[in-house]
Amino acid sequence: MIRLIDVYKDYEGYEAVKGISIEVKEGELYVLLGPSGCGKSTTLRLINRMVERSSGDIFVEGEHVDSIQVETLRKKMGYVIQSTGLFPHMDVAANIATVPHLLKWDEKRIRERNREMLELVGLEPEVYLKKLPRELSGGEAQRVGVARALAADPHILLMDEPFGAVDPISRLRLQKEFKEIQKKLKKTVIFVTHDVEEALLLGDRICIMRDGIVVQEGTPEQVILKPEDQFVEDFFGKEGALSLLARFKAREYKEELKVQGEPLADDASLKEALSEMILRGEDRVALNSGSISLAAIMKLIRGEHT
């Protein structure tokens, strides 16, 4: 779907990307994770040619990026950035309609699409369509940024620390909502972040970068449970396993056995289930039907679940 082969980027003598080869599959949410300055944003921008590579090849949906007109290439891809990049003098409706306008959709279709997109990201159209960006909270602005990127129904989404600037509580909500949206839409997403929890929560696969190279690539379980070197292990830190548990829903590891006590919320994660076990001093807590056990969590951590 998207393939980078031995790609380099040299900014006037400074090598920001040094031979990256990755392949992102259709419908996958692929995370570029690493410390600030390791070349994540550069790698993302090489794909839509906001930055031109120094050498190597990039293919998008089977076509070499050099053989596609830049405007055509960018229209294939929604792009979401941290500061949202909303046009300040345009209202929410006009912002969302940016690409549909470029594509010359008719007004009726654009109006319907605006509403559909706002509903998708959890904002009431009547309330938000006519607002200006400065009248939005950080979280609302990010939602509009996501709505705008999705408006023309691109196959591909490039997201650069999209939730980085919002407060921690709104961020977690946005992450969970985005995960649900992605489950429905199944876009091919490349998602840049330096936030370990975010990467583990959202990524189907995670590519860990350092100083312009890839140090490890794998599923969240693989990178946490089998770090290939000290850098990766240190990057995730001692709480990496807990962050990994945040990714899974307790109900997916449910056992039939019923136990006493207040059942966990239906969407509780394994991390929350473990926290409840510690608080209650039990090795099993109730779910709405059945229960979740410490043993099941340990099995997952040992890689024994199927």
Ligand X SMILES: Nc1ncnc2c1ncn2[C@@H]1O[C@H](COP(=O)(O)OP(=O)(O)O)[C@@H](O)[C@H]1O
Interface positions with Mg ion (CB under 5 A):
41
DSSP symbol at 90: S
The residue among 34 and 154 lying less far from ligand X, judged by its C-beta, is 34
Residues near ligand X (CB under 6 A): 11, 14, 16, 34, 36-42
Q: How far apart are the first and last CA of the chain?
A: 27
CB of residue 37 to ligand X, shortest distance in Å: 4
The C-alpha atoms of residue 187 and residue 61 are separated, in whole angstroms, by 13
DSSP 22-56: EEEPTT-EEEEE-STTSSHHHHHHHHTTSS--SEE
Are 226 and 251 within 8 A, CB to CB?
no
The C-alpha atoms of residue 184 and residue 45 are separated, in whole angstroms, by 26
- Side-chain-facing half-sphere of 74: CA atoms under 13 Å: 15
260 binding partner (options Mg ion, ligand X, none; Cβ < 5 to 8 Å by kind)? none
CB of residue 202 to Mg ion, shortest distance in Å: 17
Query: Given CA atoms 39, 215, 305, 299 in this order, what sign does their dihedral have?
Result: negative
The residue among 45 and 251 lying less far from Mg ion, judged by its C-beta, is 45
196 binding partner (options Mg ion, ligand X, none; Cβ < 5 to 8 Å by kind)? none
CB of residue 129 to ligand X, shortest distance in Å: 33
The residue among 6 and 266 lying less far from ligand X, judged by its C-beta, is 6
Are 22 and 57 within 8 A, CB to CB?
no
The residue among 39 and 220 lying less far from ligand X, judged by its C-beta, is 39
CB of residue 147 to ligand X, shortest distance in Å: 24
The residue among 195 and 255 lying less far from Mg ion, judged by its C-beta, is 195
How are beta strands 156-160 and 77-81 bridged, if at all? parallel
38 binding partner (options ligand X, Mg ion, none; Cβ < 5 to 8 Å by kind)? ligand X
The residue among 146 and 192 lying less far from ligand X, judged by its C-beta, is 192
The C-alpha atoms of residue 202 and residue 191 are separated, in whole angstroms, by 9
Task: Tell the residue number behind the tokens 């995960």, with chain if given.
Answer: 179
The residue among 36 and 69 lying less far from ligand X, judged by its C-beta, is 36
14 binding partner (options Mg ion, ligand X, none; Cβ < 5 to 8 Å by kind)? ligand X
CB of residue 204 to ligand X, shortest distance in Å: 20
The C-alpha atoms of residue 8 and residue 15 are separated, in whole angstroms, by 7
The residue among 41 and 188 lying less far from Mg ion, judged by its C-beta, is 41
Residue type, 202: L
Are 40 and 31 within 8 A, CB to CB?
no
39 binding partner (options ligand X, Mg ion, none; Cβ < 5 to 8 Å by kind)? ligand X
DSSP 251-282: GGG-BS---SSPPPPTT-BHHHHHHHHHHHT-
37 binding partner (options ligand X, Mg ion, none; Cβ < 5 to 8 Å by kind)? ligand X
84 binding partner (options Mg ion, ligand X, none; Cβ < 5 to 8 Å by kind)? none
67 binding partner (options ligand X, Mg ion, none; Cβ < 5 to 8 Å by kind)? none
Backbone angles phi, psi at 79, to 5 degrees: -130, 125
CB of residue 13 to Mg ion, shortest distance in Å: 20
CB of residue 198 to ligand X, shortest distance in Å: 14
CB of residue 98 to ligand X, shortest distance in Å: 24
